[in-house]
Amino acid sequence: MVALIVAVAAAVSVYIFIYYNFLKGVKCKSDVSLNGRTVIVTGANTGIGKETALDMARRGARVVLACRSKDRAEAAVLDIRRVSDNNQVVFMHLDLASLKSVRAFAETFLKSEPQLHILINNAGVGLVGKTEDGFSMGVGVNHFGHFLLTNLLLERLKQCVPSRVVVLASETYRMVGLDFSKLSRTEPGHTNGFLDYAHSKLCNVLFARELSNRLEGTNVTCYSVHPGVVNTEVFRHLNRWLMLILVPVAALLFRDPEGGAQTSIHCAVQEGIERFSGRYFSDCRVREVVAHARDDAVARKLWEFSERMVGLSPRVSAVDLNPSSHRLLFSCPCSCLCPFQTSLMIIIISGVL
């Protein structure tokens, strides 16, 4: 019995050591005030987005929660106002799975809000399905929706410099090389939630890189961030068997949303990081990305392709849609997030591979 107690105590001690030294992540150390500044956080009704919005509100900012669910967002507004003692927290409807909704949000915001200093593209999904415009759900929401939103708000950001754009990415970007045929509108049955999510995260990294190149000299800076392995609702639509596997693992090994929000917060407020515009951050530090995520030619091609897909450019450029010209690093034939894919994703974003 004594031996069992000692073994349990030792296991708990090892877990605590590993969690606080390797899994929990670091905290943003900046105490910058955001009084008089306006911030948009997409997907801010729960998880990382809500914690990010709460931090912005505590710093005195006017915070716009750009969310799809009115009920959940309004509940989050009340909660953030209460905790932060800041009544300048509001909800505006935004459904990133609809380009029409993105345009409507931008029009409403620009008419009602005279300033924008920080745009945090936080919202994300990881599920099979199609958007209103025919894109796979992961790519449509995580990349195309945010791409259009950012472009529609760029002039306001330029008018309110210094300003910043933060794009929530993920270490899953490592898993795929960019395949433009995976980004165009899809037919039923031809989506893979795992690969769509990874593709969207690679797009996020390349988008921030090209956006920085285009904004050089404007005093608008942008950053892509990896939040860590966080226990959020991004994969809440997985089947119940996968949830049975993930829930206990997430409870033990994943960061909580507050910990996951720290790098987004760091890139939104930390002074002195402007020279790292376009770079990728993790644990509140700039990190080097793998070769296929720092190719400026590919980033530029993705930008032009995305302009055409969301209707910002009428040009029909000759885009190479041959998937054989792009490298797929990991593959699985499943059309959903299977246990193999889930395990592989967790391993890679944990930094093991």
pLDDT tens sequence across 294-333 = 999 999 999 999 999 999 986 544 444 444 334 444 444 3
Q: Which residue has the higher pLDDT, 322 or 215?
A: 215
**pLDDT confidence of 13, banded at 50, 70, 90?**
very low
Q: Quick check: 114 and 155 in contact, CB under 8 A?
A: no
- Give the model's pLDDT for residue 333: 39
Residue 281 lies in a domain: yes
Count Cα neighbours of 168 within 13 Å in the Cβ-side half-sphere. Answer: 29
**Edge-to-edge strand list for the sheet holding 89-93:** 89-93, 62-67, 38-42, 118-121, 163-168, 220-226, 280-282, 285-287
pLDDT for the residue 332: 45
The secondary element (H helix, E strand) that includes residue 91 is strand 89-93
Q: How high is the mean pLDDT of the chain?
A: 82
CA 203, CA 310: separation in Å to the nearest integer? 14
Task: Kindly state whether residue 338 falls inside one of the protein's structural domains.
Answer: no
The answer to whether the CB of 117 falls within 8 A of the CB of 33 is no
Q: So what's the pLDDT on residue 317?
A: 46
Q: pLDDT tens, 32-47? A: 999 999 999 999 999 9
Q: What is the mean pLDDT of residues 99-104?
A: 98
Q: Is 16 domain-assigned?
A: no
Max CA pair span of the chain: 74
pLDDT category, 348, cuts 50, 70, 90? very low
CA dist., res. 130 & res. 137, Å (int): 5
More confident residue, 275 or 258: 275
* Residue 293 near residue 206 (C-beta atoms within 8 A): yes
CA distance linking residue 123 with residue 28, whole number of Å = 20
Residue 223: both structure tokens together: 């950053």
What are 52's two structure tokens? 């990010």
For residue 178, CA distances in Å to 49, 181, 320 come to 27, 9, 11
Our count of domains for the chain comes to 1
Q: What per-residue confidence (pLDDT) applies to 243?
A: 53
Q: What is the domain extent for residue 50?
A: 30-310
Two tokens, residue 186: 């899809």
- Report yes or no on 352 lying in a domain: no
Asked which of 19-28, 106-115, 305-314 is least confident by mean pLDDT, the reply is 19-28
CATH number assigned to the domain comprising residue 115: 3.40.50.720
- Mean pLDDT score, 210-214: 98
| Residue 332 placed within a domain | no
Q: Would the pLDDT of 251 be above 90?
A: no
Residue 116 clears pLDDT 90, i.e. is over it: yes
- Inform me whether the pLDDT recorded for 220 exceeds 70: yes
pTM across the whole model? 0.82
The answer as to whether 3 is a domain residue is: no
Residue 121 lies inside a defined structural domain of this protein: yes
Q: Both tokens of residue 187?
A: 């037919």
Q: Give me the active site residues, please.
A: 197
The predicted-structure confidence for 56-79, as pLDDT tens digits, reads as follows: 999 999 999 999 999 999 999 999
Question: Mean pLDDT throughout 179-184?
Answer: 80
Residue 99, domain member (yes or no): yes
